[in-house]
Amino acid sequence: MAQQTKLALILIILWITAGCQYTHNKNSSSDILKRINEPEKSIVNNTTLNDTKLIKHSLEKSSESKLNCTTSNSCLQNQAKTKTDPNESDLEKESDLSAQEKIDQALDLCNYAQQMWEKGKLEEALTNLDSAYYSILEIDPDIYPEFNQQKEDIRFLISKRILEIYASRQIVVNGQHDEIPITLNTHVKKEIKRLTGPEKKFFIQSLERAQRYRPFIVSELKKAGLPEDLSWLPLIESGFKIRALSPARALGLWQFIPSTGYKFGLNRNYYIDERLDPEKATRAAIAYLRELHNLFGDWTTALAAYNCGESRVLRIIRKQSINYLDNFWDLYQNLPRETSRYVPRFLATLHIVNNLDKYNIKIDTPSKPFDFQVCEIKKQVRLKDIAKKIGMDTATLKELNPELRYALLPPEPYMLKIPKEKAQLFLSTIDELKTTGTPPPMYVFHRVRRGETLSGIANKYKTSVRAISIANNIHKTHKIFAGKVLKIPGSTNSSIASIATATQLKPGQTITYTVRRGDNLWNIARKFGTTTKNIMTTNRLSCTNLNIGQTLYITSKKQLILAKSDSSKKSSSQHNKTFAYRVKSGDSPFSIAKKYKMDLNRLLALNHLNKRSKIFPGQKLIIE
């Protein structure tokens, strides 16, 4: 009886202990659920609610599993064993409490991060989410497997919340124009030292040029709701030089490569390159920067992508050891060398322009913005003719319209920028301007030989080193090598010279001409009194490019008209003397000319053929 009484007492004690443990766990879970249930004014309310349900479900499962454990035989046996070792029981309770505290701490940090996010303190929100992540990592999954599901749900919540913060950055900060954080770390300080030391002269000159273009850039950034600090980006890109050209063929104030320029609406053809237009390029750059910011979420990473391309930055992010986006400085070591300097250099620029007195930097000769009026012109006119007509400097007119590649208006209507004080005079004399017949320079090709230099090649073709460099996207004068093929722009002076010594061909006459240095189709056509179209048709050329040493067949532009006129006269007096012949299999121009006792050159000229031309069965030829 005594033994039965003792056994009953032990069972009662164990039952009370189990009940207390269940109460503790239930209260702990309730507290956590209560915290999760607190209302959140999230920017993404639906996502937050779903994440909360995930955590609730995990915690409820944990509570149920612990309750089931206390009522099972195995758990009763384990607790009976534990009662025999009070010290071990206290250690396990303390460890369980520590693991639960880590879960509670992680949830508290997530909630605090949510509050910081709502207040627009994004960096603090991200810092707290990082701390929450490290908190759950401290719980050993082998010792506390019952917490694994809770850890996974919280990890999922943290990852999604961080992605939401990055995606919503544009929404949170839109309208504020100073949100690019200036981090003065060792990398930025190194660039500050460079820009205020060896590169100080370049920096001051860039600041002076910036005064002309920044007012427009700042106004466009304000319209777009982007940070005004971005207006200093061209200082790093091009030094505010309109015609800056990089080794990667990036051109203009904002350094667009052709493909990116096309993507954002910058046209490029034989006459214009809109990458050189400060206003058009600025609007395109703003559209590109906005797209990058929406993609990456922070400005430093967006600027890195602007420099080396979004695809490359995305590849680097995918290689990160964590499965959510981080900030630029975590990508820094994996970026290309130029890009890894690019962002610190930009941040250094922001710091310096905000502290000019500190670094003893003064802007003595600032460039003033142009005051101009846009006027439509429907004629193809040279800028120097316009400048002469309205009494202004040609260089200033070129500077106002930098997108014109050859200082020549395109044949279609064009919106020309004219100084405001000259606009009325221009509009009143526009009808007096004569349409020019001078085309833009065409190209010949030159293969570089051993020992040749750009200056020597330029002298040989009567052009300039700069013209050759621009035509071939050469950044440094010494970067040419034997075997490289260069495009050589034609010279307007040589065109005039060739016109003065023009040789008129007689109708029916066909001659051969070997292309020489400085030649282009327009020069050759004018020299022999024919047309470029006639030469291209006769020689079956698909483009205007020529090579030195190339042989061309030249005929008169009037000979086909005269041939038709002669044939009509002969047909009126001598029927059957001129007729159309249909080429048969096995025929050749020589055999046909011999058959009809006709001069071969005459046959070729009448039918716009040359000695290399092929004829085909069924083709019709004019026969005299």
Average pLDDT, the chain: 75
Torsion 49-51-54-59 (CA) sign: negative
**Residue keyed to tokens 């056509």:** 525
Residue 73 lies in a domain: yes
For residue 609, the enclosing domain spans 560-623
Residue 600 lies in a domain: yes
Residue 181 lies in a domain: no
Domain boundary among 534, 555, 576: 555
Residue 475 lies in a domain: yes
Q: What is the pLDDT of residues 599-615, one digit of tens each?
A: 887 787 777 777 777 78
Sequence-ordered strand ranges (E) for 221-338: none
**Cα-to-chain-centroid distance, residue 136:** 41
Based on the fold, state whether residues 231 and 325 are members of the same structural domain: yes
What percent of the chain shows pLDDT beyond 90? 26
Highest mean pLDDT among 70-79, 107-116, 206-215, 325-334: 206-215
Average pLDDT over every residue of 24-39:
38
The predicted structure's pLDDT at residue 169: 52
Residue 307 lies in a domain: yes
Q: Grade residue 117 by pLDDT with cuts at 50, 70 and 90.
A: confident
Based on the fold, state whether residues 348 and 286 are members of the same structural domain: yes
Residue 305 lies in a domain: yes
- C-alpha dist (Å) from residue 146 to 59, 365, 397, 486: 10, 72, 77, 72
Residues 192, 194, 199, 205: what is their CA dihedral angle, to the nearest 10 degrees? Answer: -10
Q: Grade residue 492 by pLDDT with cuts at 50, 70 and 90.
A: very low
Checking if the pLDDT of 526 tops 70, the result is: yes
Q: What is the pLDDT of residues 208-239, one digit of tens each?
A: 999 999 999 999 999 999 999 999 999 999 99
The predicted structure's pLDDT at residue 616: 78
CA distance 191 to 185: 10
Based on the fold, state whether residues 217 and 332 are members of the same structural domain: yes
Highest mean pLDDT among 178-192, 551-565, 572-586: 178-192
**79 or 249, which is more confident?**
249
- Decide: 250 and 257 in contact? Cβ < 8 Å: yes
CA distance 136 to 152: 9
**201 or 183, which is more confident?**
201
Which token pair is 403? 């997108």
Based on the fold, state whether residues 472 and 408 are members of the same structural domain: no
Torsion 308-244-263-229 (CA) sign: positive
Q: Grade residue 477 by pLDDT with cuts at 50, 70 and 90.
A: low
Checking if the pLDDT of 12 tops 50, the result is: no
Establish how many alpha carbons lie within 13 A of residue 321's alpha carbon, considering only the half-sphere containing its beta carbon: 1
Residue 437 lies in a domain: no
Checking if the pLDDT of 205 tops 90, the result is: yes
Highest mean pLDDT among 35-49, 63-77, 202-216, 333-347: 202-216
DSSP 8-state class, residue 476: S
Of 464-473, 490-499, 521-530, the least confident:
490-499
Based on the fold, state whether residues 39 and 107 are members of the same structural domain: yes
Q: Grade residue 395 by pLDDT with cuts at 50, 70 and 90.
A: very high
Q: b/e per residue, 475-493, with b = 16+ CB within 10 A? A: eeeeebeeeeebbbbbbee
Catalytic residue set: 237
Closest CA to 117 of 301, 297, 338: 297
Based on the fold, state whether residues 37 and 164 are members of the same structural domain: yes
Based on the fold, state whether residues 68 and 199 are members of the same structural domain: no
CA distance 316 to 23: 49
Alpha helices in 309-372 (DSSP H): 310-318, 328-331, 337-353
**CATH number, domain with residue 348:** 1.10.530.10
**Residue 502 identity:** A
Residue 10 lies in a domain: no
For residue 429, the surrounding DSSP H or E stretch is helix 423-429
Domain boundary among 407, 432, 457: 432
Checking if the pLDDT of 506 tops 80, the result is: no
**600 or 322, which is more confident?**
600
**253 or 262, which is more confident?**
253
Checking if the pLDDT of 48 tops 50, the result is: no
**Cα-to-chain-centroid distance, residue 445:** 30
For residue 582, the surrounding DSSP H or E stretch is strand 579-582
The predicted structure's pLDDT at residue 436: 79
Based on the fold, state whether residues 570 and 516 are members of the same structural domain: no
Q: Grade residue 488 by pLDDT with cuts at 50, 70 and 90.
A: confident
**Residue keyed to tokens 């099972």:** 72
Q: What is the pLDDT of residues 143-162, one digit of tens each?
A: 888 888 888 888 878 877 77
Checking if the pLDDT of 551 tops 90, the result is: no
What is the number of domains present in the chain? 5
Of 54-58, 116-120, 557-561, the least confident:
54-58
**12 or 209, which is more confident?**
209
Based on the fold, state whether residues 167 and 272 are members of the same structural domain: no
The predicted structure's pLDDT at residue 125: 84
Establish how many alpha carbons lie within 13 A of residue 182's alpha carbon, considering only the half-sphere containing its beta carbon: 18
Rg (CA), the chain: 40
Based on the fold, state whether residues 465 and 513 are members of the same structural domain: yes
Based on the fold, state whether residues 347 and 234 are members of the same structural domain: yes
Q: Phi and psi (nearest 5°) for 83?
A: -60, -25
What percent of the chain shows pLDDT beyond 70? 71
Q: Grade residue 306 by pLDDT with cuts at 50, 70 and 90.
A: very high
- Decide: 470 and 440 in contact? Cβ < 8 Å: no
The predicted structure's pLDDT at residue 40: 35
Domain boundary among 555, 584, 608: 555
Checking if the pLDDT of 21 tops 70, the result is: no
Q: Grade residue 563 by pLDDT with cuts at 50, 70 and 90.
A: very low
Highest mean pLDDT among 31-35, 42-46, 437-441, 517-521: 517-521
CA distance 178 to 299: 11
Give the chain's end-to-end CA distance (angstroms, integer).
143
The predicted structure's pLDDT at residue 202: 94
Based on the fold, state whether residues 147 and 30 are members of the same structural domain: yes
Highest mean pLDDT among 163-172, 295-304, 507-516: 295-304
CA distance 535 to 301: 54
**481 or 414, which is more confident?**
414
**CATH number, domain with residue 465:** 3.10.350.10
The length of the chain in residues reads 624
CA distance 617 to 604: 17
Instruction: Give 583: exposed, middle or buried? Use CB within 10 Å, 0-12, 13-18, 19+.
Output: middle
Q: What is the pLDDT of residues 342-392, one digit of tens each?
A: 999 999 999 999 999 999 999 989 999 999 999 999 989 999 999 999 999
